[in-house]
Structure 1
Protein backbone atom coordinates (compact mmCIF):
# COMPACT_ATOMS: atom_id res chain seq x y z
CA UNK A 1 0.00 0.00 0.00
CA UNK A 2 2.66 2.48 1.07
CA UNK A 3 4.97 1.56 -1.80
CA UNK A 4 2.44 2.37 -4.51
CA UNK A 5 1.21 5.42 -2.63
CA UNK A 6 4.79 6.74 -2.64
CA UNK A 7 5.19 5.89 -6.32
CA UNK A 8 1.96 7.72 -7.18
CA UNK A 9 3.09 10.71 -5.15
CA UNK A 10 6.42 10.81 -7.00
CA UNK A 11 4.73 10.60 -10.41
CA UNK A 12 2.27 13.37 -9.49
CA UNK A 13 5.06 15.58 -8.11
CA UNK A 14 7.12 14.97 -11.25
CA UNK A 15 4.13 15.82 -13.45
CA UNK A 16 3.47 18.97 -11.44
CA UNK A 17 7.12 20.03 -11.70
CA UNK A 18 7.26 19.30 -15.44
CA UNK A 19 9.80 16.47 -15.05
CA UNK A 20 7.31 14.04 -16.65
CA UNK A 21 4.49 14.35 -19.11
CA UNK A 22 1.22 12.49 -19.40
CA UNK A 23 -0.99 12.01 -22.41
CA UNK A 24 -4.71 11.26 -22.02
CA UNK A 25 -4.17 7.50 -21.73
CA UNK A 26 -1.58 7.88 -19.00
CA UNK A 27 -3.66 10.48 -17.13
CA UNK A 28 -6.66 8.14 -17.18
CA UNK A 29 -4.57 5.15 -16.10
CA UNK A 30 -2.98 7.17 -13.29
CA UNK A 31 -6.41 8.30 -12.06
CA UNK A 32 -7.75 4.75 -12.08
CA UNK A 33 -4.67 3.50 -10.26
CA UNK A 34 -5.03 6.23 -7.65
CA UNK A 35 -8.67 5.26 -7.17
CA UNK A 36 -7.68 1.60 -6.75
CA UNK A 37 -5.06 2.54 -4.14
CA UNK A 38 -7.65 4.67 -2.33
CA UNK A 39 -10.15 1.79 -2.40
CA UNK A 40 -7.53 -0.58 -0.96
CA UNK A 41 -6.63 1.88 1.81
CA UNK A 42 -10.31 2.38 2.64
CA UNK A 43 -10.88 -1.39 2.71
CA UNK A 44 -7.85 -1.86 4.96
CA UNK A 45 -8.79 0.75 7.55
CA UNK A 46 -12.49 -0.16 7.50
CA UNK A 47 -11.67 -3.80 8.19
CA UNK A 48 -9.38 -2.75 11.01
CA UNK A 49 -12.19 -0.73 12.59
CA UNK A 50 -14.81 -3.44 12.07
CA UNK A 51 -12.77 -6.59 12.71
CA UNK A 52 -9.23 -6.07 14.01
CA UNK A 53 -9.80 -3.45 16.71
CA UNK A 54 -12.68 -5.36 18.37
CA UNK A 55 -10.58 -8.55 18.53
CA UNK A 56 -7.64 -6.66 20.02
CA UNK A 57 -9.85 -4.81 22.51
CA UNK A 58 -11.55 -8.04 23.62
CA UNK A 59 -8.20 -9.77 24.00
CA UNK A 60 -6.12 -6.99 25.56
CA UNK A 61 -8.77 -5.05 27.47
CA UNK A 62 -7.35 -2.05 29.31
CA UNK A 63 -3.83 -2.81 28.06
CA UNK A 64 -4.63 -1.09 24.77
CA UNK A 65 -6.19 2.22 23.75
CA UNK A 66 -6.97 2.43 20.04
CA UNK A 67 -8.62 5.86 20.12
CA UNK A 68 -5.88 7.77 18.31
CA UNK A 69 -5.52 5.07 15.64
CA UNK A 70 -9.30 5.14 15.08
CA UNK A 71 -9.12 8.93 14.88
CA UNK A 72 -6.50 8.56 12.12
CA UNK A 73 -8.96 6.34 10.27
CA UNK A 74 -11.64 9.02 10.44
CA UNK A 75 -9.13 11.49 8.95
CA UNK A 76 -8.40 9.13 6.07
CA UNK A 77 -11.78 9.11 4.32
CA UNK A 78 -11.81 12.84 3.46
CA UNK A 79 -8.19 12.57 2.27
CA UNK A 80 -9.03 9.55 0.13
CA UNK A 81 -11.90 11.48 -1.42
CA UNK A 82 -9.60 14.46 -2.02
CA UNK A 83 -7.18 12.18 -3.92
CA UNK A 84 -10.03 10.64 -5.94
CA UNK A 85 -11.40 14.06 -6.91
CA UNK A 86 -7.93 15.38 -7.82
CA UNK A 87 -7.16 12.23 -9.84
CA UNK A 88 -10.42 12.52 -11.78
CA UNK A 89 -9.74 16.21 -12.41
CA UNK A 90 -6.26 15.39 -13.69
CA UNK A 91 -7.66 12.68 -15.97
CA UNK A 92 -10.26 15.18 -17.18
CA UNK A 93 -7.50 17.45 -18.46
CA UNK A 94 -6.11 14.62 -20.58
CA UNK A 95 -2.80 15.09 -18.80
CA UNK A 96 -2.56 18.74 -19.80
CA UNK A 97 -2.77 20.10 -16.27
CA UNK A 98 -4.16 19.70 -12.81
CA UNK A 99 -1.30 17.73 -11.25
CA UNK A 100 -0.71 20.35 -8.53
CA UNK A 101 -3.75 19.34 -6.45
CA UNK A 102 -3.14 15.65 -7.13
CA UNK A 103 0.47 15.94 -5.94
CA UNK A 104 -0.60 17.86 -2.82
CA UNK A 105 -3.38 15.40 -2.00
CA UNK A 106 -1.10 12.39 -2.45
CA UNK A 107 1.60 14.05 -0.34
CA UNK A 108 -0.84 14.66 2.53
CA UNK A 109 -2.31 11.16 2.28
CA UNK A 110 1.04 9.38 2.08
CA UNK A 111 2.38 11.32 5.07
CA UNK A 112 -0.64 10.35 7.18
CA UNK A 113 -0.58 6.71 6.05
CA UNK A 114 3.16 6.43 6.75
CA UNK A 115 2.80 7.90 10.23
CA UNK A 116 -0.27 5.78 10.96
CA UNK A 117 1.21 2.47 9.83
CA UNK A 118 4.46 3.09 11.68
CA UNK A 119 2.47 3.83 14.83
CA UNK A 120 0.32 0.72 14.33
CA UNK A 121 3.38 -1.48 13.90
CA UNK A 122 5.09 0.02 16.93
CA UNK A 123 2.09 -0.16 19.26
CA UNK A 124 -0.27 -2.84 18.00
CA UNK A 125 1.97 -5.71 16.93
CA UNK A 126 3.37 -6.21 20.45
CA UNK A 127 -0.19 -6.19 21.85
CA UNK A 128 -1.31 -8.76 19.28
CA UNK A 129 1.65 -11.00 20.06
CA UNK A 130 1.04 -10.75 23.80
CA UNK A 131 -2.76 -10.91 24.06
CA UNK A 132 -4.45 -12.22 20.90
CA UNK A 133 -4.83 -16.00 20.75
CA UNK A 134 -3.55 -17.68 17.60
CA UNK A 135 -7.02 -19.07 16.81
CA UNK A 136 -8.56 -15.59 17.12
CA UNK A 137 -5.86 -14.14 14.87
CA UNK A 138 -6.39 -16.85 12.26
CA UNK A 139 -10.17 -16.31 12.25
CA UNK A 140 -9.63 -12.58 11.98
CA UNK A 141 -7.23 -12.98 9.02
CA UNK A 142 -9.89 -14.94 7.12
CA UNK A 143 -12.49 -12.25 7.66
CA UNK A 144 -10.11 -9.50 6.49
CA UNK A 145 -10.18 -10.68 2.92
CA UNK A 146 -12.45 -9.01 0.44
CA UNK A 147 -10.52 -6.28 -1.37
CA UNK A 148 -9.79 -6.39 -5.11
CA UNK A 149 -7.83 -9.65 -5.40
CA UNK A 150 -6.18 -8.70 -8.71
CA UNK A 151 -4.87 -5.45 -7.29
CA UNK A 152 -3.84 -6.88 -3.93
CA UNK A 153 -2.26 -9.92 -5.55
CA UNK A 154 -0.15 -7.59 -7.70
CA UNK A 155 0.92 -5.77 -4.52
CA UNK A 156 1.92 -9.01 -2.86
CA UNK A 157 3.82 -10.04 -5.98
CA UNK A 158 5.69 -6.73 -6.06
CA UNK A 159 6.33 -6.01 -2.38
CA UNK A 160 6.22 -9.26 -0.39
CA UNK A 161 9.53 -10.65 0.83
CA UNK A 162 10.38 -14.20 -0.22
CA UNK A 163 9.34 -15.44 3.24
CA UNK A 164 6.05 -13.55 3.08
CA UNK A 165 5.38 -14.85 -0.42
CA UNK A 166 6.11 -18.41 0.72
CA UNK A 167 3.58 -17.95 3.54
CA UNK A 168 1.00 -16.59 1.08
CA UNK A 169 1.64 -19.55 -1.25
CA UNK A 170 1.12 -21.99 1.63
CA UNK A 171 -2.19 -20.34 2.49
CA UNK A 172 -3.44 -20.02 -1.08
CA UNK A 173 -2.14 -23.30 -2.45
CA UNK A 174 -1.24 -23.98 -6.08
CA UNK A 175 -3.95 -21.70 -7.40
CA UNK A 176 -1.78 -18.70 -6.45
CA UNK A 177 0.88 -19.58 -9.04
CA UNK A 178 -1.79 -19.78 -11.72
CA UNK A 179 -3.33 -16.48 -10.66
CA UNK A 180 0.07 -14.78 -10.74
CA UNK A 181 0.66 -16.07 -14.26
CA UNK A 182 -2.69 -14.64 -15.32
CA UNK A 183 -2.39 -11.30 -13.51
CA UNK A 184 1.25 -10.35 -14.09
CA UNK A 185 1.14 -9.36 -17.80
CA UNK A 186 -1.77 -6.96 -17.35
CA UNK A 187 -0.33 -5.52 -14.17
CA UNK A 188 3.05 -4.96 -15.83
CA UNK A 189 1.38 -3.10 -18.71
CA UNK A 190 -0.58 -1.03 -16.23
CA UNK A 191 2.54 -0.26 -14.18
CA UNK A 192 4.44 0.84 -17.29
CA UNK A 193 1.61 3.13 -18.34
CA UNK A 194 1.15 4.70 -14.90
CA UNK A 195 4.74 4.79 -13.65
CA UNK A 196 6.73 4.62 -16.86
CA UNK A 197 8.55 1.44 -15.87
Structure 2
Protein backbone atom coordinates (compact mmCIF):
# COMPACT_ATOMS: atom_id res chain seq x y z
CA UNK A 1 0.00 0.00 0.00
CA UNK A 2 1.28 3.48 -0.85
CA UNK A 3 2.34 5.63 2.10
CA UNK A 4 2.34 9.43 2.47
CA UNK A 5 5.49 11.28 1.42
CA UNK A 6 6.35 13.51 4.38
CA UNK A 7 9.44 15.07 2.80
CA UNK A 8 7.74 18.42 2.16
CA UNK A 9 6.78 18.79 5.81
CA UNK A 10 10.26 17.76 6.94
CA UNK A 11 11.89 20.45 4.81
CA UNK A 12 9.33 23.03 5.94
CA UNK A 13 10.16 22.19 9.55
CA UNK A 14 13.90 22.42 8.87
CA UNK A 15 13.45 25.76 7.14
CA UNK A 16 11.41 27.26 9.98
CA UNK A 17 13.89 26.12 12.58
CA UNK A 18 16.89 27.25 10.58
CA UNK A 19 15.63 30.70 9.65
CA UNK A 20 14.24 31.55 13.09
CA UNK A 21 17.56 30.56 14.66
CA UNK A 22 19.44 32.73 12.17
CA UNK A 23 17.13 35.65 12.93
CA UNK A 24 17.63 35.11 16.67
CA UNK A 25 21.41 35.19 16.21
CA UNK A 26 21.23 38.24 13.94
CA UNK A 27 19.07 40.28 16.30
CA UNK A 28 21.31 39.34 19.23
CA UNK A 29 24.27 40.73 17.29
CA UNK A 30 22.30 43.88 16.48
CA UNK A 31 21.37 44.26 20.15
CA UNK A 32 24.94 44.08 21.39
CA UNK A 33 26.44 46.19 18.61
CA UNK A 34 28.28 43.48 16.67
CA UNK A 35 26.18 44.37 13.62
CA UNK A 36 24.26 47.47 12.55
CA UNK A 37 21.27 48.07 10.33
CA UNK A 38 20.53 51.09 8.18
CA UNK A 39 16.83 51.82 7.51
CA UNK A 40 16.69 49.61 4.40
CA UNK A 41 18.22 46.64 6.18
CA UNK A 42 16.10 47.17 9.29
CA UNK A 43 12.95 47.23 7.17
CA UNK A 44 14.01 44.06 5.32
CA UNK A 45 14.70 42.28 8.63
CA UNK A 46 11.33 43.25 10.06
CA UNK A 47 9.47 42.23 6.90
CA UNK A 48 11.23 38.86 6.89
CA UNK A 49 10.44 38.29 10.55
CA UNK A 50 6.78 39.07 9.81
CA UNK A 51 6.83 36.61 6.92
CA UNK A 52 8.33 33.91 9.15
CA UNK A 53 5.68 34.53 11.83
CA UNK A 54 2.96 34.19 9.19
CA UNK A 55 4.53 30.97 7.89
CA UNK A 56 4.72 29.43 11.35
CA UNK A 57 1.17 30.45 12.25
CA UNK A 58 -0.25 29.05 9.00
CA UNK A 59 1.68 25.80 9.43
CA UNK A 60 0.34 25.26 12.94
CA UNK A 61 -3.18 26.29 11.97
CA UNK A 62 -3.08 23.70 9.17
CA UNK A 63 -1.98 21.07 11.67
CA UNK A 64 -4.66 22.01 14.22
CA UNK A 65 -7.54 22.29 11.77
CA UNK A 66 -6.68 19.72 9.11
CA UNK A 67 -3.87 17.34 10.07
CA UNK A 68 -4.92 16.62 13.66
CA UNK A 69 -8.48 15.56 12.65
CA UNK A 70 -7.03 13.36 9.90
CA UNK A 71 -4.67 11.66 12.34
CA UNK A 72 -7.36 11.20 14.99
CA UNK A 73 -9.74 9.73 12.44
CA UNK A 74 -7.07 7.45 10.98
CA UNK A 75 -5.13 6.34 14.06
CA UNK A 76 -7.66 6.77 16.88
CA UNK A 77 -6.26 5.74 20.25
CA UNK A 78 -2.75 5.33 18.83
CA UNK A 79 -2.00 9.03 19.30
CA UNK A 80 -2.46 11.79 21.89
CA UNK A 81 -2.15 15.25 20.37
CA UNK A 82 -2.82 17.33 23.48
CA UNK A 83 0.81 18.25 24.22
CA UNK A 84 1.47 19.31 20.63
CA UNK A 85 -1.73 21.38 20.59
CA UNK A 86 -0.66 23.02 23.85
CA UNK A 87 2.64 23.95 22.20
CA UNK A 88 0.75 25.67 19.39
CA UNK A 89 -1.29 27.62 21.93
CA UNK A 90 1.95 28.85 23.54
CA UNK A 91 3.55 29.77 20.23
CA UNK A 92 0.79 32.04 18.92
CA UNK A 93 1.07 34.72 21.65
CA UNK A 94 4.85 34.65 21.25
CA UNK A 95 4.48 35.31 17.52
CA UNK A 96 2.34 38.35 18.35
CA UNK A 97 4.99 39.58 20.80
CA UNK A 98 7.66 39.20 18.14
CA UNK A 99 5.63 41.28 15.71
CA UNK A 100 5.29 44.08 18.25
CA UNK A 101 9.00 43.78 19.07
CA UNK A 102 9.78 44.20 15.39
CA UNK A 103 7.83 47.46 15.32
CA UNK A 104 9.73 48.64 18.40
CA UNK A 105 13.03 47.78 16.70
CA UNK A 106 12.06 49.89 13.68
CA UNK A 107 11.20 52.85 15.91
CA UNK A 108 14.15 52.70 18.29
CA UNK A 109 16.85 50.53 16.61
CA UNK A 110 16.91 48.55 19.88
CA UNK A 111 16.78 44.82 19.09
CA UNK A 112 17.10 43.48 22.66
CA UNK A 113 13.48 42.48 23.19
CA UNK A 114 13.27 41.09 19.68
CA UNK A 115 16.41 38.98 20.17
CA UNK A 116 15.11 37.50 23.42
CA UNK A 117 11.74 36.61 21.88
CA UNK A 118 13.24 35.11 18.72
CA UNK A 119 15.66 33.01 20.77
CA UNK A 120 12.75 31.71 22.82
CA UNK A 121 10.83 30.96 19.63
CA UNK A 122 13.81 29.12 18.14
CA UNK A 123 14.19 26.99 21.28
CA UNK A 124 10.47 26.20 21.40
CA UNK A 125 10.37 25.27 17.71
CA UNK A 126 13.37 22.96 18.09
CA UNK A 127 11.73 21.07 20.94
CA UNK A 128 8.24 21.04 19.43
CA UNK A 129 9.25 19.93 15.93
CA UNK A 130 11.60 17.21 17.15
CA UNK A 131 8.80 15.79 19.31
CA UNK A 132 6.21 16.15 16.55
CA UNK A 133 8.33 14.32 13.97
CA UNK A 134 9.30 11.60 16.45
CA UNK A 135 5.71 10.93 17.48
CA UNK A 136 3.64 11.65 14.40
CA UNK A 137 5.61 10.84 11.28
CA UNK A 138 5.60 7.07 11.93
CA UNK A 139 1.85 7.24 12.63
CA UNK A 140 1.19 9.28 9.49
CA UNK A 141 3.09 6.76 7.37
CA UNK A 142 1.32 3.81 8.98
CA UNK A 143 -2.28 5.02 9.23
CA UNK A 144 -2.97 8.09 7.06
CA UNK A 145 -4.05 7.53 3.46
CA UNK A 146 -2.23 9.16 0.57
CA UNK A 147 -5.44 10.99 -0.37
CA UNK A 148 -5.86 12.46 3.13
CA UNK A 149 -2.20 13.46 3.25
CA UNK A 150 -2.52 15.18 -0.11
CA UNK A 151 -5.42 17.20 1.26
CA UNK A 152 -3.26 18.31 4.21
CA UNK A 153 -0.43 19.35 1.89
CA UNK A 154 -2.84 21.18 -0.42
CA UNK A 155 -4.13 23.28 2.47
CA UNK A 156 -0.57 23.95 3.64
CA UNK A 157 0.46 25.13 0.17
CA UNK A 158 -2.69 27.20 -0.37
CA UNK A 159 -1.85 29.61 2.44
CA UNK A 160 1.87 29.87 1.74
CA UNK A 161 3.82 32.79 0.27
CA UNK A 162 5.47 31.08 -2.70
CA UNK A 163 7.85 33.98 -3.33
CA UNK A 164 9.35 33.58 0.14
CA UNK A 165 8.83 29.93 1.02
CA UNK A 166 9.66 28.10 -2.20
CA UNK A 167 13.27 29.40 -2.37
CA UNK A 168 13.74 28.30 1.23
CA UNK A 169 12.91 24.75 0.16
CA UNK A 170 15.82 24.86 -2.28
CA UNK A 171 17.99 26.43 0.41
CA UNK A 172 17.30 23.78 3.06
CA UNK A 173 16.77 20.59 1.06
CA UNK A 174 19.68 18.22 0.55
CA UNK A 175 20.60 17.30 -3.05
CA UNK A 176 18.92 13.90 -2.81
CA UNK A 177 15.79 15.54 -1.37
CA UNK A 178 15.72 18.10 -4.18
CA UNK A 179 15.94 15.26 -6.68
CA UNK A 180 12.94 13.60 -5.03
CA UNK A 181 10.96 16.85 -5.04
CA UNK A 182 11.72 17.46 -8.72
CA UNK A 183 10.63 13.93 -9.54
CA UNK A 184 7.36 14.40 -7.66
CA UNK A 185 6.56 17.94 -8.87
CA UNK A 186 7.92 17.81 -12.42
CA UNK A 187 9.92 20.40 -14.37
CA UNK A 188 7.81 23.35 -13.20
CA UNK A 189 9.56 23.18 -9.82
CA UNK A 190 12.98 23.67 -11.42
CA UNK A 191 11.64 26.63 -13.40
CA UNK A 192 10.22 28.24 -10.25
CA UNK A 193 13.44 27.71 -8.33
CA UNK A 194 15.34 29.43 -11.15
CA UNK A 195 12.94 32.38 -11.35
CA UNK A 196 12.87 33.01 -7.59
CA UNK A 197 16.49 32.22 -6.70
CA UNK A 198 18.02 35.61 -7.51
CA UNK A 199 15.54 37.65 -5.50
CA UNK A 200 15.83 35.26 -2.57
CA UNK A 201 19.62 35.54 -2.50
CA UNK A 202 19.54 39.33 -2.67
CA UNK A 203 17.01 39.46 0.16
CA UNK A 204 19.05 37.06 2.27
CA UNK A 205 22.26 39.05 1.77
CA UNK A 206 20.52 42.29 2.72
CA UNK A 207 19.10 40.71 5.88
CA UNK A 208 21.94 38.47 7.02
CA UNK A 209 24.92 40.22 5.41
CA UNK A 210 27.09 39.68 2.33
CA UNK A 211 28.40 36.35 3.63
CA UNK A 212 24.93 34.90 4.08
CA UNK A 213 24.96 31.20 3.25
CA UNK A 214 22.32 30.89 0.55
Which of residues 130, 153, 168 is equivalent to 1:155?
168
Distance 1:87 1:73 in 2: 21
Answer whether contact 2:41 2:206 (CA < 8 A) is retained. yes
TM-score by length of 2: 0.86
Question: In the alignment, what sits opposite 1:115?
Answer: 127
Question: In the alignment, what sits opposite 2:13?
Answer: none
Q: Does 1:182 align with 2:195?
A: yes
Q: Please give the secondary structure, in 1, of the residue aligned with 2:50.
A: helix
Q: Does 1:53 align with 2:65?
A: no
Q: Does 1:18 align with 2:33?
A: yes
Give CA-to-partner distance per residue, 1:61-100, whole Å, 9 cap, x none. 011110110111111111111111111221223xxx3200
Gaps of 5+ in 1: none
How far off its partner does 1:142 sit? Answer: 2.5
Distance 1:22 1:83 in 2: 18
Once the two structures are superposed, the pairs formed by residues 68-79 of structure 1 within 5 Å of their partners are: 68-79=83-94
The range that moved more, 112-121 or 140-149, is 140-149
Answer whether contact 2:98 2:114 (CA < 8 A) is retained. yes
Q: Please give the secondary structure, in 2, of the residue aligned with 1:171.
A: helix
Question: Number of aligned pairs?
Answer: 194
Gaps of 5+ in 2: 1-15
Query: CA 1:142 to 1:163, structure 2 compared with 1: closer, same or farther past 3 Å?
Result: farther
How far off its partner does 1:60 sit? Answer: 0.6
Distance 1:41 1:140 in 2: 15
Distance 1:166 1:52 in 2: 26
Runs of 4+ aligned residues of structure 1 deviating over 6 Å after TM superposition are: none
Question: In the alignment, what sits opposite 1:62?
Answer: 77
Answer whether contact 2:44 2:207 (CA < 8 A) is retained. yes
The range that moved more, 47-56 or 128-137, is 128-137
How far off its partner does 1:141 sit? Answer: 2.2
Question: In the alignment, what sits opposite 1:100?
Answer: 112
Question: In the alignment, what sits opposite 1:133?
Answer: 145
What is the CA RMSD across the aligned residues, in angstroms?
Answer: 1.3
